[in-house]
């Protein structure tokens, strides 16, 4: 309704004013549905805005969806015809149902989204939650716009920490404890390794050696690694189930072990490599530090694996666009990744969808300070808070546990998505579980109310009392509903 009207207005204005650029605005609050600012044209023609107004009022008024126009403060304010427009919006929503807002812009195009990507044998933090929820929201949006979406969980399942983990396991490991509580136990081993390594410097050497054996494919080392990975994944999967998230691929960093040399070779063929103090690098100019491709001991790095992953994904999925949903702290890494892929001559779009930290009481979390929040604990705590609130408000409710869990998870997800993406967010369970204001529980509450109305009544737009649209708050809702497709597209 609004978009189409805007379009028609612009056509008229273009015809009348030829070269003059005229805009059509949507005033935020109340006083009109659309408005055309007349100042700048009035100024350049050296007339009063009212003269311009008189020149165009009739054409605008003659547009079918327009009810009336008014001159006010240098604007031509437009009021839309409410009855027929509302009828059209509501009928088309009822007809299209779930597919309302679907678009075809993405047809035939693929977008790859790399998100969540936690590290094996470490707990899934509320920081990884942000990536998970933002990535998942993007996935839904792109699907609705017609894109083929490939969701990839780039698991952190390779790197120096596994050498440490294996050494720690051999020294202090307990199979039963690992099986019973894999991530917490493995993480404790990792922390202990660091504590002991401060006094026993030889541990670091042992860890390097263990990593080397792992990389050379020693069966016992591989078995341990696989076991740690399987156990960690089990925990991650139960979290994803709770959050309603799934991926098309779980190929993590280790998947690229045998695909890195090929990348190094092609960088070499293109003459992009140079040697700097024994290390192999790609120079990225004055203002950006070089990308470190190989350490002086020949070891590969995070970015080497990301390059291998990027090229593999491009060959496999032929994407137009690849998105990495990762925190602000990896800004430089993705800048370098993009620069290297540019130098290699790729023309796909590569975007770092960055986001802010999760703060607890205004402070950054860290594993060492013990301030670290395991997502599972957080969810459990949220569920119990939600249950308290439900028991208070509605003691006789039947499925308290099930509802508490939906409310709690909804609250956490909503809190994550309502915030400005790139800013830090404060993680405050009491706030996010409130039943009023901009919270998940309030949204769910509204949803439930609306659903129960829809269930109890058949909606026949032909029989709606159209006088309700004359009331601003009803027509405002119609306008919001009408905006949904465009909002989706902008998002
Ligand atoms: N595992 C990394 C971390 O937890 C995030 C990986 C992001 N994805 C990527 N392709 N680099 O910090």
Q: How wide is the angle at C-alpha 225 spanned by C-alphas 223 and 228, nearest 5°? A: 110
In angstroms, the Cα distances linking 464 to 137, 451, 469, 482 are 34, 18, 10, 18
Q: Which atom of ligand 1 is nearest to the CA of 156?
A: 1
Residue nearest to ligand 1 atom 8, measured at CA: 154
pLDDT of residue 358: 82
Give, in order, the Cα–Cα distances in Å from 344 to each of 186, 190, 270, 347.
Answer: 39, 38, 7, 9
Three-class SS state of 158: coil
User: Residue 51 contacts by C-beta under 8 Å, 6 or more apart in sequence?
Assistant: 42, 45
DSSP 299-335: -B-HHHHHHHHHHHHHHHH--SEEEEEEEGGGHHHHH
Ligand 1 center–CA 256 separation, angstroms: 14
User: What is the rounded CA–CA span in Å between residue 411 and residue 395?
Assistant: 21
The tokens for 306 are 């990301």
Q: What residues does ligand 1 touch, defined as CB less than 6 Å away? A: 114, 117-119, 154, 156, 306, 324, 326
Q: How far is the CA of 254 from the centre of ligand 1 (A)?
A: 13
Nearest to 122 by CA among 253, 248, 231: 231
Residues 6 or more apart from 275 whose CB is under 8 A from it?
Answer: 281
Atom of ligand 1 at shortest distance to CA of 306?
10
Whole-number Å distance between alpha carbons of 231 and 4:
54
Contact 1, 65 (CB under 8 A): yes
d(CA 374, ligand 1 centre) in Å: 18
The pair of structure tokens assigned to 184 is 């917490």
| Adjacent-strand bridge partners of 430 | none
Question: Which whole-number Å values give the CA distances from 234 to 124, 181, 245, 376, in the listed order?
Answer: 12, 11, 14, 13
Return the SS3 of 174: coil
What does the DSSP 8-state code read for residue 67? E
Q: How far is the CA of 114 from the centre of ligand 1 (A)?
A: 8
SS3 181: coil
Cα-to-centroid distance, 132 and ligand 1 (Å)? 12
**Phi, psi (rounded to 5 degrees) for 285:** 90, -170
What residue's CA is closest to ligand 1, atom 5? 117
Q: Which of 8, 67, 64 is nearest to 33 (CA)?
A: 67
The Å distance, Cα 172 to ligand 1 centre, comes to: 29
pTM above 0.85, yes or no: yes
pLDDT along the chain (491 residues), means of 10: 88 84 83 90 88 91 93 92 91 93 96 96 83 96 98 93 94 91 89 93 92 90 94 90 94 93 95 95 96 88 95 97 95 97 96 89 58 74 91 89 93 90 86 91 94 88 83 91 94 92
Q: Determine contact, residues 197/204, Cβ cutoff 8 Å.
A: yes
Q: What is the DSSP letter of 25?
A: B
pLDDT the model gives residue 34: 94
Backbone angles phi, psi at 420, to 5 degrees: -55, 125
Pocket test of ligand 1: the residue of 116, 154, 313, 341 to mutate, having most ligand atoms within 8 Å of its CB, is: 154
**Token pair for 391:** 């028991």
* From 326, 332, 334, 352, mutation site for ligand 1 pocket: most ligand atoms within 8 A of C-beta: 326
Using the mean position of ligand 1's atoms as its centre, give its distance from the Cα of residue 436 in Å. 35
Q: Whose CA is nearest to atom 1 of ligand 1?
A: 156
């Amino acid at each position: 309704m609004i978009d189409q009207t805007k379009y028609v207005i612009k056509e008229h204005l273009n015809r009348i004013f030829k070269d003059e650029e005229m805009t059509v605005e949507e005033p935020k609050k109340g006083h009109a549905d659309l408005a055309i600012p007349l100042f700048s044209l009035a100024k350049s023609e050296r007339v009063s805005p009212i003269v311009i107004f008189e020149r165009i009022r009739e054409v605008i008024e003659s547009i079918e969806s327009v009810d009336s126009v008014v001159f006010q403060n240098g604007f031509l304010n437009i009021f839309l015809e409410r009855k027929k427009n509302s009828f059209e919006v509501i009928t088309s929503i009822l007809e299209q149902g779930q597919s309302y807002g679907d678009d075809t812009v993405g047809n035939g195009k693929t977008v790859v989204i790399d998100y969540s990507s936690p590290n094996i044998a470490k707990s899934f933090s509320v920081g990884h939650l942000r990536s998970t929820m933002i990535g998942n929201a993007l996935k839904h949006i792109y699907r609705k716009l017609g894109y083929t979406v490939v969701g990839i969980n780039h698991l952190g399942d390779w790197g120096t920490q596994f050498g440490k983990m294996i050494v720690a396991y051999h020294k202090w490991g307990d199979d039963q404890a690992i099986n019973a509580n894999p991530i917490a136990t493995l993480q404790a081993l990792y922390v202990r390794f660091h504590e002991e390594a401060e006094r026993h410097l030889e541990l670091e050497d042992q860890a390097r050696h263990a990593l080397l054996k792992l990389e050379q494919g020693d069966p016992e080392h591989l078995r341990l690694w696989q076991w740690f990975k399987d156990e960690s994944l089990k925990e991650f999967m139960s979290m994803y189930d709770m959050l309603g998230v799934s991926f098309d691929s779980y190929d993590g960093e280790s998947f690229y072990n045998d695909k890195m040399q090929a990348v190094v070779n092609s960088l070499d063929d293109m003459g992009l490599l140079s040697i700097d103090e024994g290390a192999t690098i790609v120079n990225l100019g004055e203002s950006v530090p070089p990308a470190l491709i190989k350490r002086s001991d020949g070891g590969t790095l995070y970015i080497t694996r990301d390059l291998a992953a990027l090229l593999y994904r491009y060959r496999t999925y032929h994407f137009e666009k690849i998105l990495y949903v990762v925190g602000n702290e990896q800004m430089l890494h993705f800048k370098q990744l993009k620069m290297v892929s540019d130098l290699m001559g790729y023309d796909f779009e590569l975007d770092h969808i960055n986001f802010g930290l999760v703060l607890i009481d205004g402070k950054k979390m860290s594993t060492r300070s013990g301030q670290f929040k395991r997502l599972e604990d957080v969810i459990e705590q949220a569920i119990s808070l939600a249950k308290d609130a439900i028991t208070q408000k509605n003691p006789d409710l039947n499925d308290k546990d099930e509802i508490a869990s939906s409310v709690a998870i909804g609250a956490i997800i909503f809190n994550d998505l309502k915030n400005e993406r790139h800013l830090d967010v404060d993680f405050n369970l009491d706030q996010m579980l409130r039943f009023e204001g901009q919270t998940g529980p309030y949204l769910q509450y509204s949803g439930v109310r609306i659903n129960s109305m829809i269930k109890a009544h058949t909606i026949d737009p032909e029989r709606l009392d159209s006088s309700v649209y004359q009331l601003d708050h009803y027509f405002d809702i119609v306008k919001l509903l009408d905006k949904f497709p465009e909002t989706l597209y902008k998002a």
